[in-house]
Structures are given as C-alpha cells and as structure tokens.
Structure 1
Amino acid sequence: MIRTYKEALEWIHGRLRLGIKPGLQRMEWLMDKLGHPERLVRAIHVAGTNGKGSTVSYLRHILQAAGYSVGTFTSPYVEQFNERISVNGNPIRDKEIVELVQVIQPLAEELEKTELGAPTEFEVITAMMLYYFGKKNIQDVVLIEAGLGGRFDSTNVIYPLLSIITNISYDHMNFLGETLEKIAFEKAGIIKSGVPVITAANQPEAWAVISEKAKSLKAKTYRLEEDFFIVHHESTEDGEHFSMETIFSQYPDLKITMFGEHQVQNAALAVMAAEYLRMCYSFLIEKEHIYEGIEKAKWIGRFERVSNKPLIIIDGAHNAAGIHSLVNTVRSHYPNKDVHVLFAALADKPLEQMIPPLAEIAKTITFTSFDFPRAASPEQLAALCNHPHKATTDDWKGWVKEKKKQKRSDDLFLITGSLYFIAEVRKLLM
C-alpha cells in the first residue's frame, strides 16, 4: 500500500515506461470499476495543437470572476505535479494525491492482468482526476485539457457541455498523422453528438474535417473570424488590447497581459465559450466578469518575463507553430532588442522547422540539452542552424547565471524550447 506522496509520484511516473497506448478501452474499464465518475463531471473539453492551457486559464478566470468554483486538468506541469489537477488555480494537496493513488493503484494492477493490459501514466492521472472531480470534490464546472490528439485521448470518455478546439498545426505526427487533415481528424474526435464546438482552426483543410465531423453529429460550430470576430488588435507594453464581436454581444477594449496575437485568439475562444455558457446554459456571467477574468489570466512558462534587468523571457515553444507565434511576438513587442536565444528541445520534434525562424531573430543562438530521456544533444540542434553566431553548451545553468549579470538595456535573453526544459529553467530563475 502506498502511504507517502513520494511513493505515489514514483508509482505514477513509473508508468511512463508503458509509453502511449491509443484507445479508450482501458479508461472505460477503469470508469466502470469506479462507478462512472466521468458522468458526474460538468465538463468543458479543450483540444488543439497549441493554446489549450492559455484558453483554459482565460476561461477559468472568467468563471471565477462570476463566482463559480472551477476545476482544471492540464498538462504538462511547470512547477509541481499537483498543478495538473487544480481547483480555482490551486493544485490539490499532496495528501489528496496519495488518497487518489490508493484508489487507482489496485484497479491498475487488476487491469494489467486482463487482455487490455496495464494503464499508462496519462490514463492513471486522468482516472485520478475524473474520480476526484466526480466523487470527491465536485465543482461547478471542470475544464479538461486533452493530452494527445483527442479521438483516442484518455480524457475522451467525458460527455461535455461544450468542446473547444484551439487550433490545428503540426505536432506529434508519429501518433496523429503527417497531414493537417489527419491531425484535424484526431482533434475532432472530441466532438460529441449535439455538443457545440468553438474553434480557432483557420486552415481550410483542417476546418473542412472539423466542420464535416460536427455536421455528422449535429454539433453546432462557432468559428473564429466566421461566427465571432476580433475587430481591432493592438500590442502594448503590458500585453494586448483588442475588441471583439460575437453573435450575442460586442466587447470593445478588452485587455490581456499575456503577449502575442495567438493569445488574443485564445482569449477570444474563452470569451465566446463564456458567452455560450451564459446564453445556452444559464451561467450567471456578466460582461464585467469577462473583462476582469481575461485581464487577470496568466499562464506560466508562456512568454513569461522572469527578469527586467536584464530582460529575460522564457517560453515553452515546443513545436513549429509555437515557434512561429513566439517569433511574431518578439518582433511586435521588442523590435529593437538584440535577441540572444538559448534553445533546448526533444529530438522527436520537427527541429528543422523550428530552428531557422528562431535564428532569424537572434543576434546569437546557443543550443543546449537537459536531463530528459528524449532530449536532443546541443550538437544535433546546432547542425540544423546556419547562424554565424551559434554556439553549444552542456551547462545551461552556467549560461543563465552569466547572462543574469549582463546590464545592457538593448539585450533580450530568450530561453525557449521544450516545456520540460522551461520548467527546469524557471525553477532556477524564480
């Protein structure tokens, strides 16, 4: 019997060796054994390539401003494991993690003996979350972020009030497919019969797949720039200002403190979702809750300014679309800075698409690695870069400590790449 928090985490993380197993049969088996807690969760399901966590944060803050108690399920974590399952932004306690593992572990061991095989780490964590929010600590609403894809994702055992698909881009192609159509097909797998879908998917080929799936299930769609609109956007020193029109209302002069055009789109998805909950599910959400909520929202590790003198920004841009958004944000907010990049990534990412855009904005670019099984070596990364001022280092902590001593006001130190790497950097800097 697991009795301590350390033992609980070791057991959960020990399941990483089982890798990723697509399919919902193991989750359905676990839900049945647990008395179907997923049926008791009033959920909103969020899938997409990028922006899931930020969209969840915007919507959570809106709902909290309106007085609702909100559970969230997000991944990966940045500061501590417990933040994956949170209530009103507060990670659940160590004791609760232990209690959840004590419930799930015997079932996981029983499941391992069946023809379905052992549940993976993500399946175990998802089962813990659904049991927690379905049986132990029922919330007004739970925002559930899909892990990988959607169709066969462990979270797809829920039947939500609303589905949100943030965007479609290239990531996890070894699991989701090599084309936008195939990736969109997997993400659209979260769409349920009669459950409305809000999306910012803008590529015609991706939208065609999502639209067709929604139509076949009689799920009403609300698409950014077709059913709701960003009508004015301006980048400012403290974030982004924009106005918005939905089919229900108008929102002039909205403000967010997260940086980048992509964050404006994420915030717009959250506003549209809040509007739908107000109009169609009688949630008591007023305009002032929307304004207050999106301005308060933060998402650590995403274009996060962790030092002003010198200026250091960390950003978990872990795929090609993330890098594209990061580069655009740097250009719009810091066009006159000398950008010095530190980059580390996982070897299975599309590195040849990620590194050249970063090199375009960099005065210098340094490649490094970190303690993670799939991390690329500095030399692997540097081989994909033609920048005249590129370098490699095995001591990223030394690089960060040295740059912290710099005082030139023209410099911007941009640390980016894998979210796992950013979590380590953030620990050091904060």
Structure 2
Amino acid sequence: MNGRPDEAARAAAANLEQMKRMRQIEEAIIARAPENDVGPSLERIEAVMELAGDPQKSYPVIHLTGTNGKTSTSRMIDSILREAGLSTGRFTSPHLHDIRERITLMGKPIPREKFIAAYDDIAPLVEIVDARSLATGGRRMNFFEVLVAVAFAAFADAPVDVAVIEVGLGGSWDATNVADGQVAVITPVDLDHTHLLGDDVVDIAREKSGIIKADSITVSAEQAQDVVGVLRERADEVGARIVFEEQDFGVLAREPGIGGQLVSLRGLAAEYPDLFLPLFGAHQAHNLATAVAAAEAFLGGGAQALEIDVLRTACEAMSSPGRLEIVRRSPTVLVDAAHNPHGAHSLVAALEESFAFTTTVGLVGIVADKDAAGILEVLEPAFDHIVVTRSSSPRAMAPDRLGELAVELFGESRVTVVRDLPDALEQAVTLAEENGMGGGVVATGSVITAGEVRMLLGRTEV
C-alpha cells in the first residue's frame, strides 16, 4: 500500500460535494419568484450583466422567440452549427428533469462544476443588484433572471463561438433580451400567456418582435398576415433584414417514415434534398426549415450554402426530448409537451400521420393558467379515452376541475380522473391494453407532465 487515497473514492467524494452544492444553489434559485412572475423591466439583469463585464457581448448570439417550436428549433440550430465545427452554447427553458439542461455546452447539459463556477461568479453581483432594487422599492431578481445571468457567464467562460438563446417569455422585456442577436428567429406566433403578453396575436407579436435588433437578420416561420405586418414594421424600424418561410425558404417535400421523416428543403442559399429527420410531425419539418435558414443567415449572411454532408449528419443526430417522443414500447407511450391549443393541433396532426393505434389513450395534466378547455377541445378527436391527472407542479390544475372540463367535451364514459400521476400512467396503460395489442398512450398537456412521465419510465437523458 502506498498510503495514497483511493482515486475512485476521492472522485466519488468530490462528486458528492458537487451534488450537495448544486442542491444548495437550486434551493437558493427556486426560493426566488418563479419565472412566470415577471416585471416589465430589464434594469435588474442589465445591472448584473454590467457588473459582470457584459459577458453576453463577448460572443455572437442567435436569439429565438415564438409561441411553439422554440426549443426544438434551438436544438436543431445548435446541431447544425456544431457539425459545422463551431463551439456552441444553448440556453432553453423550461427543463424536463435537471436545471442544467437549460444551459448546454456542445449540446450537453453544462457540467456541474461549470454551473457552480458560473453561479459563484454571478451570485455576489445578484446580491448587490437585489439590495439596490429593494432599497428603491423594487423587487429581487426572479428565478429566470438569475439563470440567464449564469448562462451568459458560463458561455463567456467556456468560451463559445456562438450562443443559441431562447427567450423565456415574450421578447422585449425578457431577461435574455440584454443580448443582441446577429440572427433573430421567430417561430410561429399564436395565443399563449395572454395575461402577460396580450389578448391577440398582434399584441403578442409586437412583444416578441423586440428581439429584432439593428443590422441583424430575422428568420421567421410562416405567420398569420397580421403578425407578418408587425414583424416587418419592427425590422424596418431598426434597420434589420427579414426573411419569411414560404416566401424565402421552406419545405419542398416531406415523406413520413419509420423513425421520422425524409425532408427536402429550400434554404436561403440552396436546396437541400432528402434529409432524414428522426422526429415526427409536419411541424418538425417546418422547424427544421427555419433552423436551416437561421444557420445559413449566421454562417454566411444567407448567401452561402451549407455543406450537404454536414447538414445530413446534423439532421440524423437531432432529437427533441419530450416532443412527440416514444419513451416505451408495448404499449407505446409517447410524451409531448403541448401546452396550448396551437401545440395540441401539431400533436394531433402528427399522431394521425405517423401512428395508427388501435386505441389511443390520452394522459393529460395541464397547468392552471393555461387554456385547458382549448387544449382539450383540440385533443378530443384524437383520443378514445382520456385520463386526467396532475403533475407535481404547484401550478398544476386540480384533477377534479380538469376532469369536469374533459367530461363536457369527451362525455363521462370517456374520462377517468386519477389524482396522482404514477397511478394515472398505470391506468392509462391498462386502458390502452384492454383491446389487445396496438394501443398507445399519449402523455401531454405541459412540459412538466411530459418530463415526469419520461422519468417514471426511466428516461432521464436529454
């Protein structure tokens, strides 16, 4: 024996200390106001960033907003840029299982030690800004603002060649908007968070258009004509170039297949035939078209074609956990994070196109401030039976109340209310298997519901 501590034991001890520290940090962040408790001001995050030396200005940014498709599109852009040889950071929300999923380096959740280091750099600055704000009758930074500050610091420390940044809520007043994107991406705009963003798509589009900055290129998915007008107006106002799906780029052809779909695209600079995308649904093909146009805009101002082999390899590696994802077979269990009627429409269309279940059972848990009736109305034709439940979120709608809404649309015989999600999953599987093989369960209604069903079935990787 040489007397030296066992290396494995030392590593295990260090890992345990990191996990303890991460728990402490998470508890401190979660103790703040939740991310949906926002104040229409960038003053706090701007002050922290200034004290930190404005790390968000040390690398180029691709900034995304929209109602649905932001996270999938962000992951697609990230995949393309990594395959093109760039070092990437990505910030998305919310997370499915682990807070570190929101901040990725080279497509992987940030290592614990790097998250801890970035937080420890930022935390004293947050305390200074909190104290200043409270002294003048203001508020402390919320959960989301602190995570944005940590992400921007971590990307500067890495360092990254480019950061792909998804807004948390809206655009103009979102904490991420202290960054100036060289490329702005607007995924489809629809009604969501109306109590915060506005009661119609024009108001919502106006708020989201705030991420369009001077001398940038804006890449917009297909939008309602009223939304197009708002985005054009903003681009003209700040001196930005804007391109639109269908007009400037788009999906040329798509063919659903086993494990995904074959997609041909028209980009800003070239056409890209026969790309295999291992994701289901027409909406994902359109997300890919937007991502390709964004990558073209970033890498060559929209005038330089992507290398087809690079793009094909990037597409084959794409994933979008919690978005029409198969997490179990026999019976098949799908999870999908659809949390508004627009997302539910995409889910229903993809189910009809790519899955032929003999019996389709919905397992649905919805957050209380969402349009539950609107979501259920869209889902009704797709489900033979619905099991309503709740996730562990304190914001989750009570199952009894959700059940009442479901009965109005589905009829009493097609609705089962089960309070706890694990029991509800078991009940949904039982119902799917009642008529033999070929049944399927679709767990949806919120990101939290999708994430918790994933975890119950042993899926935690992202």
- Match of 1:9? 26
The reply to whether residue 125 of structure 1 matches residue 160 of structure 2 is no
The reply to whether residue 393 of structure 1 matches residue 418 of structure 2 is yes
- Match of 1:299? 320
The reply to whether residue 225 of structure 1 matches residue 250 of structure 2 is no
* Cα displacement (A) at 1:288: 1.2
* Cα displacement (A) at 1:240: 1.8
- Helix, strand or coil: the match of 2:291? helix
Instruction: Give the CA RMSD over aligned residues.
Output: 1.9
CA–CA distance in 1 between the matches of 2:228 and 2:98? Answer: 36
CA–CA distance in 1 between the matches of 2:56 and 2:268? Answer: 31
Judged with a 3 Å threshold, the aligned counterparts in structure 2 of structure 1 residues 224 and 117 are, in CA distance, closer, same or farther, namely same
The reply to whether residue 318 of structure 1 matches residue 339 of structure 2 is yes
Are the counterparts in 2 of residues 15 and 121 from structure 1 also a CA contact under 8 Å?
yes
- Helix, strand or coil: the match of 1:243? strand
Are the counterparts in 1 of residues 363 and 442 from structure 2 also a CA contact under 8 Å?
yes
Structure 1 length-normalised TM: 0.95
Structure 2 residue corresponding to 1:33, chosen from 38, 41, 51: 51
Are the counterparts in 2 of residues 305 and 313 from structure 1 also a CA contact under 8 Å?
yes
Summarize deviations over 1:192-226 as a string: whole Å, max 9, x none: 01101001142011111011111111211110001
Are the counterparts in 2 of residues 71 and 85 from structure 1 also a CA contact under 8 Å?
yes
Indicate the percent of aligned positions where both proteins have the same amino acid: 31
Structure 2 residue corresponding to 1:423, chosen from 451, 458, 462: 451
The reply to whether residue 63 of structure 1 matches residue 81 of structure 2 is yes
CA–CA distance in 1 between the matches of 2:118 and 2:126? Answer: 12
Structure 1 residue corresponding to 2:162, chosen from 122, 134, 141: 141
Judged with a 3 Å threshold, the aligned counterparts in structure 2 of structure 1 residues 274 and 188 are, in CA distance, closer, same or farther, namely same
* Structure 2: runs of 5 or more not aligned: 1-17
Spell out the pairing of 1:399-410 with structure 2 (5 A cutoff): 399-404=424-429, 408-410=436-438
The reply to whether residue 110 of structure 1 matches residue 128 of structure 2 is yes
* Structure 1: runs of 5 or more not aligned: none
Report which structure shows greater RCO (CA 8 Å, sep ≥6). Answer: 1
Structure 2 residue corresponding to 1:272, chosen from 275, 293, 314: 293
Tell me the matched-pair count: 428
Structure 2 length-normalised TM: 0.89
Spell out the pairing of 1:158-177 with structure 2 (5 A cutoff): 158-177=179-198
- Helix, strand or coil: the match of 1:144? strand
* Cα displacement (A) at 1:255: 1.7
Amino acid at match of 1:387: F
Are the counterparts in 2 of residues 277 and 283 from structure 1 also a CA contact under 8 Å?
no
* Cα displacement (A) at 1:17: 5.3
- Match of 1:86? 104
Are the counterparts in 1 of residues 65 and 170 from structure 2 also a CA contact under 8 Å?
yes
Amino acid at match of 1:133: F
* Cα displacement (A) at 1:284: 9.5
CA–CA distance in 1 between the matches of 2:45 and 2:229? Answer: 30
Instruction: From the CA coordinates, give the structure whose radius of gyration is larger.
Output: 2
Judged with a 3 Å threshold, the aligned counterparts in structure 2 of structure 1 residues 252 and 285 are, in CA distance, closer, same or farther, namely closer
- Helix, strand or coil: the match of 1:86? strand
CA–CA distance in 2 between the matches of 1:107 and 1:276? Answer: 35
The reply to whether residue 195 of structure 1 matches residue 216 of structure 2 is yes
CA–CA distance in 2 between the matches of 1:222 and 1:132? Answer: 31
Judged with a 3 Å threshold, the aligned counterparts in structure 2 of structure 1 residues 402 and 355 are, in CA distance, closer, same or farther, namely closer
* Cα displacement (A) at 1:41: 2.2
Amino acid at match of 2:197: L
Are the counterparts in 1 of residues 197 and 207 from structure 2 also a CA contact under 8 Å?
yes
Are the counterparts in 1 of residues 365 and 396 from structure 2 also a CA contact under 8 Å?
yes
Summarize deviations over 1:102-142 as a string: whole Å, max 9, x none: 222222222122234311111111011111112x1111111
Judged with a 3 Å threshold, the aligned counterparts in structure 2 of structure 1 residues 192 and 311 are, in CA distance, closer, same or farther, namely same
CA–CA distance in 2 between the matches of 1:143 and 1:199? Answer: 16
Judged with a 3 Å threshold, the aligned counterparts in structure 2 of structure 1 residues 259 and 315 are, in CA distance, closer, same or farther, namely same
